[in-house]
Amino acid sequence: MSGITPDALVLGIETSCDETAAALVKGGREVLSSIISSQVALHQKYGGVVPEVASRNHLERILPVIDEAIAAAGVELAEIDAVAVTYGPGLVGSLLVGVSVAKAIAFARQIPLIGVNHIEGHIYANFLAFPQLQPPLLCLTVSGGHTALFAVRELGRYELLGQTRDDAAGEAFDKIARVLGLGYPGGPQVERVARTGDPTAYDFPRALQSEATLDFSFSGLKTAVLNHLNQRRQKSGTADLDPGELADIAASFQAAIIDALEEKVLLALERTGINQVALSGGVAANRALRERLQQSIEQRGARFYAPPLEYTTDNAAMIAAAGFHRLLAGECSELSLNAVPGLQFGK
């Protein structure tokens, strides 16, 4: 038994990809501090996250980030009741930095350690942002590594309804941004450019549309955009797109992603009878996606929740919150906890 109390102070640590993050959360819902050191600038010149660069930078940043989180919360290390850390899925070298530091703190302080699944953390971002939110709810998790739809029947119990069969939605945004010359991370760039474009200019495919499955697939969409660009280059003899054409391609691509996500969310509402939907993961920052989901979900008489941006992208407050609930349920990890890069969730 972990033996923690309902107002326990949990230190959360998150290093699964390219953000070094630490947070202090009291009682699973009150965020005292949440510090995120982003490596985006480091990886930008490579057009994506370079695992070796990421883990080295986590090593440099993790202790200062934890110190900053403790100082910002106005507490002492000695007051922390438990440590929660992401142990998967993610990049192994990155995960190992957080897991090692969390184990060292738990061992030194003789306090409980809990390994948290990163995806469960993203779901918990909603409970942090909306303290009144209670299951049952549907959760659409859309990030750079994952696109999945869960039914959260009760806290800690998740049913995987559907997931991507190939690329994650964020991964598709990043890849298309790269071929359009928009830089990394791609999602915010595509969204920015798409704002002035016509989403109906190109009829890019919506995979699995009108099929009974709640799964997603984005690799065909990615290929369709690439084919379009190649054909255009062959015809015109240049790779240069004028700004209007670029905006139309970005807007049409984004519309195809949003249509696919919306369709499956609405189908899941119908099938499960659940009447609230929450959004999580980095792609949840997309305003066009939020607005569309809000409109269509509310039109069906259900409620829609989208956390503020600080909770949708990778952060450690969501990890502390998810860890707190596992500890309160009597779960606890051994000090032999290891990083599990391909950790599954909700199966």
Chain residues binding ligand KG4 by CB under 6 A are 17, 143-145, 170, 173-174, 185-188, 191, 281-283, 285-286, 313-314
Closer CB to Zn ion, 143 or 189, in the complex: 143
Among 4-12, 218-226, 306-314, 327-335, the segment contacting Zn ion (CB under 5 A)? 306-314
Considering the complex, what minimum distance in angstroms separates the CB of residue 255 from Zn ion?
24
Segment (H or E) for 115: strand 113-117
Q: Which amino acid is at 175?
A: K
Tokens of 317: 């407050």
Given a contact cutoff of 8 angstroms between Cβ atoms, the answer to whether 183 and 177 are in contact is: yes
Nearer to Zn ion, 143 or 163 (CB): 143
In this structure, how many other beta carbons lie within 10 angstroms of the beta carbon of residue 189? 20
135 versus 144: smaller Cβ distance to ligand KG4:
144
Of 156, 138, 99, whose CA–CA distance to 272 is shortest? 138
Q: Which is nearer to Zn ion, 123 or 277 (CB)?
A: 123
The angle at the Cα of 215, spanning 209 to 218, to the nearest 5 degrees, equals 70
The amino acid present at 113, given as its one-letter code, is L
How far apart CA 125 and CA 95 sit, in angstroms, is 20
Helix 169-179 and helix 243-272: axis angle, to 10°? 170
Q: What is the β-pairing status of strands 19-26 and 30-38?
A: antiparallel
User: Which of residues 51 and 205 has its CB atom nearest to Zn ion in the complex?
Assistant: 51
Identified binder of Zn ion from the candidate list 143, 252, 254, 286, rule CB under 5 A: 143
Closest-CA residue to 155 (of 124, 194, 192, 109): 124
| CB of 242 vs ligand KG4, minimal distance in Å | 23
Total binding residues toward Zn ion, as defined by CB under 5 A: 2
What is the closest distance, in whole angstroms, from the C-beta atom of residue 246 to ligand KG4 in the complex?
Answer: 16
Binding at 188: pick from Zn ion, ligand KG4, none (beta carbon under 5-8 Å per type): ligand KG4
The 10 Å Cβ neighbour count of residue 187 is 29
Kindly state the smallest distance separating residue 171's Cβ from ligand KG4, in Å.
6
Nearest approach, Cβ of residue 334 and ligand KG4 (Å) = 26
Transcribe 280-309 into DSSP letters. ESGGGG-HHHHHHHHHHHHHTT-EEE---H
Query: Choosing among ligand KG4, Zn ion, none, which partner's interface includes residue 307 (Cβ < 5 to 8 Å by kind)?
Result: none
Closer residue to ligand KG4 (CB): 191 or 262: 191
For residue 311, the surrounding DSSP H or E stretch is: helix 309-312
Look at residue 156 and give the partner it binds from Zn ion, ligand KG4, none, a contact being a CB closer than 5 to 8 Å depending on partner kind.
none
- Told to check if 314 binds Zn ion by CB under 5 A, we report yes
Q: 283 touches which of Zn ion, ligand KG4, none (CB within 5 to 8 A by kind)?
A: ligand KG4
Closer residue to Zn ion, CB minimum distance, 135 or 170: 170
Q: Whole-number minimum distance, CB 14 to Zn ion, in Å?
A: 8
Q: Which does 115 bind (CB under 5 to 8 A by kind): Zn ion, ligand KG4, none?
A: none
Closest approach, Cβ 90 to Zn ion, in A, equals 8
Of the pair 214, 283, the CB lying nearest ligand KG4 is at 283
State the binding partner of 162 from ligand KG4, Zn ion, none, CB within 5 to 8 A by kind: none
Q: Which of 86, 73, 58 is nearest to 318 (CA)?
A: 86
SS3 (DSSP) at 175: helix
Looking at the chain, the number of H-run helices and the number of E-run strands are 11, 10
Q: State the residues that interact with Zn ion by CB under 5 A.
A: 143, 314
